[in-house]
A and B are shown apart, each in its own frame.
Chain A
Amino acid sequence: MSRYARSFELLRTRGEGAFGAFLMLGDPDCQTSALLLDTLVEGGADMIEVGIPFSDPVADGPVIQAAAKRALESGVRVEDCFGLIAKFRAKHPDVPVGILTYANLVVSRPGFMRDAAEAGADSLLIADVPQLETEPFAQEMVQAGLEPVLIAAANTPRETLRRIARLSRGYTYCVSRAGITGTHADGEFDRSLVQRLKDEGAPPPVFGFGISEPGHVRSALHAGAAGVICGSAIVRLAQEAEQPGRRIAEFVSAMKAATAQPAAVD
Chain B
Amino acid sequence: MRLDGRFGRFGGTYVPEILVPALEQLEAAFLDAQEDDAFEAELVDLLVNYAGRPTPLTRCRNLPGTIYLKREDLLHGGAHKTNQVLAQGLLAKRMGKKRLIAETGAGQHGVATAIVGALLGFETVIYMGAEDVERQALNVFRIRLMGADVVPVESGGRTLKDAINEALRDWSASFEHTHYLLGTAAGPHPFPTMVREFQRVIGREARAQIVEQSGRLPDAVIACVGGGSNAIGLFADFIPDDVRLIGVEAAGRGLAGAEHGATLLRGRPGILHGAETYVLQDADGQIADTWSVSAGLDYPAVGPEHAHLMETGRAQYVGATDGEALAAFKALAMSEGILCAFESAHAVAHALKIAEEEPDAILVVGLSGRGDKDVAQAEKLLSA
Q: Is the interface of B mostly helix, strand, loop or mixed?
A: mixed
Looking at the assembled complex, report how far the CB atom of A266 sits from the nearest CB atom of chain B, in whole angstroms.
Answer: 25
Q: Are B169 and A128 in contact (CB under 8 A)?
A: no
How extensive is the interface on chain B, given as a class? 35 or more
Please indicate which of the listed interface residues A61, A104, A130, A153 has the most CB atoms of chain B within 10 Å of its own CB: A104
Cβ 8 A contact of A127, one of B16, B156, B269, B286 = B16
Looking at the assembled complex, report how far the CB atom of A132 sits from the nearest CB atom of chain B, in whole angstroms.
Answer: 5
CA distance A65 to B268 in the complex (A): 25
B34 at the interface (CB under 8 A from A): no
Q: Are B165 and A128 in contact (CB under 8 A)?
A: no
Q: Are A128 and B172 in contact (CB under 8 A)?
A: no
Of the stretches A178-186, A220-228, A241-249, the one at the interface is A178-186
Q: Are A56 and B17 in contact (CB under 8 A)?
A: no
Closest B residue by C-beta to A108? B285
B 43-59 binary contact with A (CB < 8 Å = 1; else 0): 00000000000000000
What B residues does A69 contact at CB under 8 A?
155
Q: Are B14 and A128 in contact (CB under 8 A)?
A: yes
Of the stretches B257-265, B272-280, B336-344, B358-366, the one at the interface is B272-280
Q: Are A151 and B18 in contact (CB under 8 A)?
A: yes
CA distance A109 to B283 in the complex (A): 7
Of the stretches A14-22, A42-50, A154-162, the one at the interface is A154-162
B 152-196 binary contact with A (CB < 8 Å = 1; else 0): 000110000110010011001111100000000000000000000
B271 at the interface (CB under 8 A from A): yes
Q: Is the interface of A mostly helix, strand, loop or mixed?
A: loop
Q: Are A58 and B165 in contact (CB under 8 A)?
A: yes
What B residues does A175 contact at CB under 8 A?
17-18
Please indicate which of the listed interface residues B16, B19, B168 has the most CB atoms of chain A within 10 Å of its own CB: B16
A67 at the interface (CB under 8 A from B): no
What A residues does B274 contact at CB under 8 A?
128
Q: Are B284 and A108 in contact (CB under 8 A)?
A: yes
What A residues does B273 contact at CB under 8 A?
56, 58
Cβ 8 A contact of A109, one of B175, B279, B285 = B285
Cβ 8 A contact of A103, one of B18, B156, B271, B284 = B271
Cβ 8 A contact of B16, one of A55, A58, A108, A109 = A58
What B residues does A153 contact at CB under 8 A?
17-18
Q: Which of A46-71 contact B (CB under 8 A)?
A: 54-61, 65, 69
Cβ 8 A contact of B17, one of A106, A131, A183 = A131
Q: Which of A168-212 contact B (CB under 8 A)?
A: 175, 177-180, 183
B220 at the interface (CB under 8 A from A): no
B21 at the interface (CB under 8 A from A): yes
Cβ 8 A contact of A108, one of B169, B172, B281 = B281
A58-B169, A178-B172, A178-B175 known; A160 vs B20 contact (CB < 8 Å): yes
CA distance A57 to B270 in the complex (A): 15
B208 at the interface (CB under 8 A from A): no
A103-B14, A109-B284, A130-B15 known; A180 vs B20 contact (CB < 8 Å): no
CA distance A157 to B274 in the complex (A): 20
Q: Which of B93-110 contact A (CB under 8 A)?
A: none
CA distance A152 to B17 in the complex (A): 7
CA distance A177 to B172 in the complex (A): 10
What A residues does B16 contact at CB under 8 A?
58-59, 127-128, 130, 151
A55-B156, A133-B12 known; A61 vs B20 contact (CB < 8 Å): no
Looking at the assembled complex, report how far the CB atom of A13 sits from the nearest CB atom of chain B, in whole angstroms.
Answer: 32
Looking at the assembled complex, report how far the CB atom of B219 sits from the nearest CB atom of chain A, in whole angstroms.
Answer: 37
A65-B155, A107-B285, A178-B175 known; A130 vs B270 contact (CB < 8 Å): no
17 A-B pairs besides A55-B286, A179-B172 with CB distance below 8 A are: A55-B156, A56-B156, A59-B16, A72-B286, A78-B285, A104-B271, A104-B285, A104-B287, A107-B270, A128-B14, A128-B271, A130-B14, A130-B19, A151-B16, A153-B18, A155-B21, A160-B20
Interface residues of A (CB under 8 A from B): 54-61, 65, 69, 72, 77-78, 102-109, 127-133, 150-153, 155-157, 160, 175, 177-180, 183
